[in-house]
Amino acid sequence: MFNALIVEKLEDGTTSASIQNISEDRLPEGEVTVAVDYSTVNYKDGLCVGPGGGLVRNYPHVPGIDFAGTVLDSSDARYKAGDKVVLTGWRVGEAHWGGYAQKARVKADWLVPLPEGLTPRTAMAVGTAGFTAMLAVMALEDHGLTPEKGTVLVTGAAGGVGSVATAILANLGYQVAAVTGRPETADYLKSLGATQIVPREDLAETVKRPLEAEQWAGCIDAVGGAMLARVLGQISYGGSVAAIGLAGGAGLPATVIPFLLRGINLLGIDSVMQPFENRKRAWARIATDLPLDKLEAMVVPATLSDLPQLGADILKGKIKGRVVVDVN
Ligand code: NDP
């Protein structure tokens, strides 16, 4: 028997989440059973702990789009009992039962062995948000970004993706301008390595001029919407924007002018279906390029019983940094 946060659909169409003690035979099919040590809270988790946002297919459901833990048993030769593993993506926590439980059963293909230097707790302090931030840094580098090219803008900076992106970029020697709608997080963002704080209002207005002064060598964008559209017009010649999120909206009220006259690139970043080799590369880079003291400064500790509230908070943009959920 083990504890899990189970979300049930009620007759009136709403959902209710509660911690239940359930037996292992209720776990879904999969080759590897994992004793979950830690999970975390992402924007999608906020949706799945509540009414689902269209992501959850079947109820009762165990949310948690990522987890790290220790293999209990495996019918796949790549894993054996005692191995430390991390999982993000593959629609775990949405279409498949996820990490808000003391045990999980998943496909071996979905797991990544924890690289040296990371524990299950630090891996979940990073979580899907930090993993995706690393994918964005790698994509910008693959498109020619170097610290000499100029300042990199990070939007939604005090959130999970933004916090980790800021810390990694600063550690790699980049000047980082952090966009936030919460001025009270300025000291926190500077402690992560931000060299400039940009108030959200400065980028809130929709595009009036398709080209503005060239200000940023690159951008990691967690916000989307009107802010992303404005940023495109401020990117330096040949620079790139890594689009990760839609915390500010899914629309893109932009013009093609910056692409045509400045040769800029918009790079889409997907963490869910990312191939195994690139996952391994990103986790290895996290282990070397993200300073653990800065990661620790982002951590907000939590337990399974905190999740309904934290899920609601992340949907309102009220979470600072990275929540680490001790499921035990
Ligand atoms: P968080 O809620 O932790 O961070 C989002 C941040 O965006 C907030 O903290 C806030 O930053 C800012 N923000 C929120 N609402 C608005 C708004 N209306 N306008 C402008 N800024 C706003 O979420 P995560 O960092 O975990 O995720 C960020 C986004 O990335 C989400 O949309 C998520 O779905 C997406 N995502 C995508 C992935 C992928 O594979 N592509 C993987 C992981 C996440 P501040 O207070 O500093 O202004």
What's the rounded mean pLDDT across residues 126-139? Answer: 97
Domain chopping of the chain, boundaries = 2-114+295-326, 128-268
Mean pLDDT for the chain?
A: 96
Angle at 132 between CA 191 and CA 148, to 5 degrees: 60
Looking from the CA of residue 185, the nearest atom of ligand 1 is: 47
Looking from the CA of residue 162, the nearest atom of ligand 1 is: 25
The CA 306 to ligand 1 mean position distance, Å, reads 20
Instruction: List phi, psi (to 5°) of 297.
Output: -65, -20
pLDDT at 158: 95
**Residue % of the chain over a pLDDT of 90:** 94
CA atoms within 13 A on the CB side of 163: 29
Dump pLDDT digits (tens) for 60-105. Answer: 999 999 999 999 999 999 999 999 999 999 999 999 999 999 999 9
Dump pLDDT digits (tens) for 204-263. Answer: 888 889 999 999 999 999 999 999 999 999 999 999 999 999 999 999 999 999 999 999
User: Hey, whose CA ends up nearest to atom 10 of ligand 1?
Assistant: 156
| CA distance to 69, 242, 278, 311, per residue, from 43 (Å) | 21, 18, 23, 8
The residue type found at 100 is Y
The CA 319 to ligand 1 mean position distance, Å, reads 10
pLDDT at 57: 85
Reduced to 3 states (helix: H, G, I; strand: E, B; else coil), residue 106 is strand
What's the pTM? 0.96
User: Hey, whose CA ends up nearest to atom 35 of ligand 1?
Assistant: 245
The CA 249 to ligand 1 mean position distance, Å, reads 10
Query: Which CATH code of 3.40.50.720, 2.30.30.140, 3.90.180.10, 3.40.50.1100 fits the domain covering 2-114+295-326?
Result: 3.90.180.10
pLDDT at 13: 85
| Tokens 């993200």 belong to residue | 290
| Tokens 């893109």 belong to residue | 252
The CA 10 to ligand 1 mean position distance, Å, reads 29
Q: With 80 as the cut, is the pLDDT of residue 52 above it?
A: no
From 25-29, 53-57, 280-284, the region with the lowest mean pLDDT: 53-57
CA atoms within 13 A on the CB side of 267: 24
Structure tokens at 149: 């090219």
pLDDT at 317: 87
- Topology of domain 128-268, per CATH? Rossmann fold (3.40.50)
* Cα(160)–Cα(43) distance, integer angstroms: 9
Q: What share of the chain is helix, strand, coil (3-state, %, to 5)?
A: 35, 30, 40
What residues does 240 pair with on adjacent strands? 218, 265
| Tokens 């595009």 belong to residue | 207
Probe target for ligand 1 pocket from 180, 244, 269, 271, with the most ligand atoms within 8 Å of CB: 244
pLDDT at 54: 81
Q: How many residues does the chain have?
A: 328
